[in-house]
Structure 1
């Protein structure tokens, strides 16, 4: 992989993993169009290599702004799309608002699919092109407290697999890479407390970003990051009842942290 030859669109660039991805790719000489909602973070990232990085503040869920991204990507002759944008809400499903669920589906699934679809004609013009989707261990393991989030990440995993097979006779490679728990601002205090209570491993964004880049360099297809998460994903596929029983033992702790704090005096 000659990163200096790549022209990459990174969504979610102002988030934890996205920000670290941009930093590492800048060090490798890649040309980038970086998209996110936090304009100041994007400006700081673009300053790492002003001649090679263009910042485009935008909301992926807004059709007009998505069209601006597609136009900019076409002008930059993008040959790699890294879908790193996403949002997560930790909490019991029956306590989550319809608006929170809708916004999660809109960004994690709908906007990601529509942006990818819009960029396909551009990517198909290249001799070698890539679509990289950042998923989650919760795209293979349904976990209490993350019901809506799991739904979106299962969808992204299925989308990646189906699209890979649909594009098997084209120059486009589709990679799906699943981090485990990662220390980003998406995590609420309650989610952080649950990870501590359960003794879950939590990776730093820089570690995840480096693993994503290695996955791309090795032409990974569907890679789960972290141990024992790799084992749990396999167990959940072959022996889901075993995982059911293990999570049921943890359910009181999960419910304790996931339940919305009472506002009564």
Structure 2
């Protein structure tokens, strides 16, 4: 689909990548309806806005209903939540929040949107994943798991809907210079020599994937190569992440495991 033909519903539009995406889309002639938990301030000129919390059933229903009323023909699911650090220091509540925001919310919204999108002559559903969803990197076990699930969902849904009007696509950025990544991630990336893109680079790639209608697009080298090698070689690449493992700063565990196994009482049979 050409950008000037697109009416794009964009979740996560208030974030660094989301704002850059909205600007690039509008610059290419697309209409944009931004979605976020809070009202965007300031609202980009010419952009419509919907305030909704996609972690709730009411928020999902509101977005799905508005998409139909607003006549969206492209949906870009870019909202998400970060997680970085050793697994031992990740609270269970954060794990649940990340999986909800990065995996369950896009799944639930996709389900709610499909009855409308499948009535259109042509529509596109673009998931914003991550290279970390295909390359397991120390420190990103929770975030990577959420994005791996999203990649798997998008791949299955793409094959499920093949031949119909809805084209399912995945755009997978690598690390990006936005407030989404905290100071710890920036320091980790410097220590490991991990390249970071600007939000504008990701926004440009979004325009490309919408117009090309490609199934998947991974951004950046060597990440594109690493994704392919990881799929082919798997465990043989484990040793290549030694620098990442050493650079991962240990934090106190938020969960204290039992020091001794529980005592199980009962009747012993001879």
TM-score under structure 1 length normalisation: 0.91
Q: Kindly report the root-mean-square deviation, in angstroms, between the aligned alpha carbons of the 2 structures.
A: 1.4
Consecutive aligned runs of 4 or more in structure 1 exceeding 4 Å deviation = none
Query: Structure 2 residue aligned with 1:260, among 237, 251, 256?
Result: 251
Given that 2:178 and 2:199 are in contact with CA atoms closer than 8 Å, whether structure 1 keeps it comes out as: yes
Residue 40 of structure 1 deviates from its aligned partner by 3.2
1:10 partnered with 2:10: yes
Q: Please state whether the residue corresponding to 2:153 is helix, strand or coil.
A: helix
The aligned counterpart of 1:97 is 91
1:150 partnered with 2:158: no
Residues 190-201 of structure 1 aligned to structure 2 (within 5 Å): 190-201=184-195
Distance in 2, matches of 1:196 and 1:2, equals 38
Given that 2:6 and 2:31 are in contact with CA atoms closer than 8 Å, whether structure 1 keeps it comes out as: yes
Residue 39 of structure 1 deviates from its aligned partner by 1.2
The aligned counterpart of 1:44 is 43
Given that 1:77 and 1:122 are in contact with CA atoms closer than 8 Å, whether structure 2 keeps it comes out as: no
Given that 2:3 and 2:210 are in contact with CA atoms closer than 8 Å, whether structure 1 keeps it comes out as: no
Given that 1:137 and 1:178 are in contact with CA atoms closer than 8 Å, whether structure 2 keeps it comes out as: yes
1:119 partnered with 2:113: yes
Residue 63 of structure 1 deviates from its aligned partner by 1.2
Given that 1:34 and 1:56 are in contact with CA atoms closer than 8 Å, whether structure 2 keeps it comes out as: yes
1:173 partnered with 2:167: yes
Given that 2:40 and 2:49 are in contact with CA atoms closer than 8 Å, whether structure 1 keeps it comes out as: no
Residues 181-260 of structure 1 aligned to structure 2 (within 5 Å): 181-254=175-248, 256=249, 259-260=250-251
Distance in 2, matches of 1:67 and 1:83, equals 15
Distance in 2, matches of 1:140 and 1:28, equals 30
Residue 32 of structure 1 deviates from its aligned partner by 2.1
Number of positions where the alignment pairs a residue of Structure 1 with one of Structure 2 = 253
Distance in 2, matches of 1:100 and 1:19, equals 25
Given that 1:235 and 1:242 are in contact with CA atoms closer than 8 Å, whether structure 2 keeps it comes out as: no
Q: Can you give the 5+ residue segments of structure 2 that lack an aligned partner in the other structure?
A: 254-270
Distance in 2, matches of 1:28 and 1:230, equals 26
Query: 1:26-75 deviations in whole A, cap 9, x for unaligned?
Result: 1122122210123133x522xx21xxx31012211011122111111111
Please identify, of 218-227 and 154-163, the stretch whose mean Cα deviation from structure 2 is larger: 218-227
Residue 5 of structure 1 deviates from its aligned partner by 2.2
Residue 249 of structure 1 deviates from its aligned partner by 4.4
Residue 143 of structure 1 deviates from its aligned partner by 1.2
Residue 7 of structure 1 deviates from its aligned partner by 1.5
Residue 211 of structure 1 deviates from its aligned partner by 1.2
Q: Please state whether the residue corresponding to 2:170 is helix, strand or coil.
A: strand
Given that 1:78 and 1:122 are in contact with CA atoms closer than 8 Å, whether structure 2 keeps it comes out as: no
Query: 1:86-132 deviations in whole A, cap 9, x for unaligned?
Result: 11111111111111111101110111110111000111111110000
Query: 1:196-253 deviations in whole A, cap 9, x for unaligned?
Result: 1111110000111101211221221111110000111111111123320101343111
